[in-house]
């Protein structure tokens, strides 16, 4: 039966560093569905029928894609397994166009956060958090999981990130000074809580709280609020950091390669392609590329 093959496949993926949680649950469901039809091999028609049990088309596409990858793995040793076609479309939607905050917008956003709500630690918490995201490119989820001990003389230790890897993020002296100012007030407010950023409940911040505080500050300075093609979110602070770093990239093929690899590592990207994505998704960077290409073609130094 397929249950044993699923267990071996899940173990293999996790050994390669992939969390594989929801995928494991879905494949277990698919194996049980196949067993109920007395099938010990992946059958394309059966995989499509199982995937169609999901309500939404994107969910069906994802379920079928997971089953197809599993079938492709098994088929390498047993050609009796069938790889189902993507009848529900691609399982991954295109990445949304990022909203790139300008330097002025970031300053006004941080200032708005420092004036939002009552005169409590909340103001200093979100002021410091948003400034940290903008100056380091951290994910909001990484920042709210930081603990006080993660602030070291060498920088911030980001532990078990999105891709189950840890990394060290160096800090500018001004950023470190800002964190120390915040900690001076925060330690007195919640002395036993190990997390760096805390809510008024004296508990770690929740991502929902961060998003709500960001929307309040963004609205206060007049940033777009409607679900348009590109709108600001806490992740926009990370986007702005990445774009600024790319714009500072030196000339020369070797220098550019080293810069991109360093930036990809700094941001905690699993693939350097995720860093190059900014080049094609940000109009300002595309314009820079076009300008350099044009000057190269006409014989000028880029």
pLDDT in tens, 213-264: 999 999 999 998 776 567 899 999 998 888 888 877 776 666 767 777 788 8
Task: Please enumerate in sequence order all residues whose Cβ is within 8 A of that of 238, keeping only pairs 6 or more positions apart, or say none.
Answer: 133, 137, 138, 139, 140, 267
Residues with a catalytic annotation lie at: 139, 162, 235, 238, 269, 278
- Of all residues in the chain, what percent carry a pLDDT higher than 90? 63
Whether the pLDDT of residue 300 is over 70: the answer is no
Each residue of 236-250: pLDDT tens digit? 999 888 888 887 777
| CB neighbour class for 22 (10 Å; exposed up to 12, middle 13-18, buried from 19) | exposed
Each residue of 137-196: pLDDT tens digit? 999 999 999 999 999 999 999 986 655 678 889 999 999 999 999 999 999 999 999 999
Alpha-carbon dihedral sign for residues 277, 170, 116, 104: negative
- The first and second tokens of residue 73, run together, are 């793995």
- The first and second tokens of residue 174, run together, are 């001004």
For the chain, the residue count is: 302
Each residue of 22-51: pLDDT tens digit? 999 999 999 999 999 999 999 999 999 999
* Summary mean pLDDT of the chain: 87
Cα distances (Å, whole numbers) of residue 221 to 104, 108, 110, 205, 301: 11, 7, 10, 23, 41
Q: Is 157 helix (H, G, I), strand (E, B) or coil?
A: strand
More confident residue, 7 or 298: 7
Q: Tally DSSP H helices, then E strands, for the chain.
A: 13, 3
- The first and second tokens of residue 39, run together, are 């099938």
Residues 87, 93, 94, CA angle at the centre, nearest 5°? 130
What pTM value is reported for the model?
Answer: 0.71
CATH homologous superfamily, domain 97-302 = Intergrase catalytic core (1.10.443.10)
CA pair distance 254, 215, nearest whole angstrom: 41
Nearest to 278 by CA among 251, 259, 297, 294: 259
């Amino acid at each position: 039966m397929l249950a044993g093959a699923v267990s071996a496949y899940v173990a293999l993926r996790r050994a390669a560093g992939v969390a594989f949680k929801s995928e494991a649950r879905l494949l277990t469901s698919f194996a049980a569905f196949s067993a109920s039809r007395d099938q010990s091999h992946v059958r394309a028609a059966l995989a499509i029928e199982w995937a169609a049990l999901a309500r939404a088309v994107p969910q069906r596409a994802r379920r079928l894609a997971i089953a197809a990858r599993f079938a492709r793995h098994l088929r390498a040793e047993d050609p009796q397994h069938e790889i189902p076609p993507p009848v529900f479309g691609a399982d991954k939607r295109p990445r949304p166009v990022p909203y790139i905050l300008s330097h002025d917008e970031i300053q006004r956003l941080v200032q708005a956060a420092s004036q939002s709500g009552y005169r409590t630690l909340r103001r200093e918490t979100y002021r410091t958090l948003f400034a940290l995201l903008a100056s380091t490119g951290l994910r909001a989820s990484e920042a709210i999981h930081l603990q006080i001990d993660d602030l070291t003389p060498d920088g911030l230790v980001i532990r078990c990130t999105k891709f189950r890897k840890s990394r060290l993020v160096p800090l500018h002296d001004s950023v470190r000074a800002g964190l120390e100012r915040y900690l001076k007030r925060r330690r007195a407010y919640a002395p036993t809580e190990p997390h760096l950023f805390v809510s008024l409940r004296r508990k770690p911040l929740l991502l929902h709280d961060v998003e709500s505080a960001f929307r309040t500050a963004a609205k206060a300075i007049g940033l777009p609020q409607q679900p348009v093609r590109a709108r600001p979110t806490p992740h926009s602070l990370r986007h702005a950091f990445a774009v600024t770093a790319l714009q500072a990239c030196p000339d020369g093929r070797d220098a550019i390669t080293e810069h991109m690899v360093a930036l990809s590592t700094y941001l905690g990207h699993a693939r350097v392609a995720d860093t190059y994505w900014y080049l094609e998704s940000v109009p300002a960077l595309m314009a820079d590329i076009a300008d350099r290409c044009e000057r190269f073609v006409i014989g000028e130094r880029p």
